[in-house]
Amino acid sequence: MRARRTKDDWTQVALRALAEGGVAAVAVEPLAARLGATKGSAYWHFPNREALLKATLERWEREHTEAVIELVEGEPTPDGRLRKLFGLVLEDPRASAVELAMLAAKDDPAVAPVLRRVTDRRVGYLVELFGAIGFPPAAARRRAVLAYSVYLGQAQLMSAAPHVVDGRRDLLEDTLASVTSRA
């Protein structure tokens, strides 16, 4: 007898598939095989593949943006929050695999609004942090965009050419120094 699968089981395996193969990999039949479930189980929880994809993208948004911000907010100082944020997002290159898949599918009608919302939220949070450090609004915005660009570039490098950044433990310090410098 097969174990009953939950919505959470489906979105978890779909998120892994998204990281490994992009949006096209979020397909009911292969996911069912990975879960050892029937396609009917997916359709019990989701009316169609698009609903499964939407739930998966929302899960990514919660886990990779809102949960990270919540964790970072536990730091008492703006500098500490910025350091923790960069430490979290730059330490595990596998975590950015979904990010790269989302960027590759930026024109997909299901992906586009979520990617825009996540990007706006992340850049907005960085603007808040740089503002709290003492940068005026325009400078805080520029630095936020630069910091987010560094993150995306790091994700791309780790995917395409990991040897370039392998062993670069000073990357976090270099990044922080460049975006917080008042020069």
In a domain, 109, yes or no: yes
Q: How far is CA 55 from the centre of its chain?
A: 15
**Residue 103: count of CB within 10 angstroms of its CB:** 15
Task: For residue 85, give its domain range.
Answer: 7-180
**Residue 51: count of CB within 10 angstroms of its CB:** 14
- In this structure, the dihedral spanned by the alpha carbons of residues 170, 142, 93 and 52, taken in order and rounded to 10 degrees, is 170
In a domain, 1, yes or no: no
Query: Which among 125, 143, 124 has a CA at the least distance from the CA of 81?
Result: 125
Quick one: pLDDT at residue 154? 82
* Alpha-carbon gap, residue 77 to 2, rounded angstroms: 49
In a domain, 2, yes or no: no
The CATH code of the domain that includes 174 is 1.10.357.10
* Alpha-carbon gap, residue 131 to 128, rounded angstroms: 5
Place of tokens 């939407």: 54
In a domain, 27, yes or no: yes
- Phi/psi of residue 88, nearest 5 degrees: -65, -45
Amino acid 110 reads A
Quick one: pLDDT at residue 171? 64
> Nearest 5°: CA angle at 92, between 88 and 94?
135
In a domain, 95, yes or no: yes
In a domain, 69, yes or no: yes
Quick one: pLDDT at residue 1? 45
In a domain, 49, yes or no: yes
Residue numbers in the chain where pLDDT is lower than 50 = 1
Quick one: pLDDT at residue 86? 87
pLDDT tens for 140-179 read 999 999 999 988 888 888 777 877 776 555 666 676 677 6
* Alpha-carbon gap, residue 163 to 152, rounded angstroms: 17
125 contacts 69 by C-beta, under 8 angstroms: yes
pTM: 0.88
How many domains are there within the chain? 1
Quick one: pLDDT at residue 169? 55
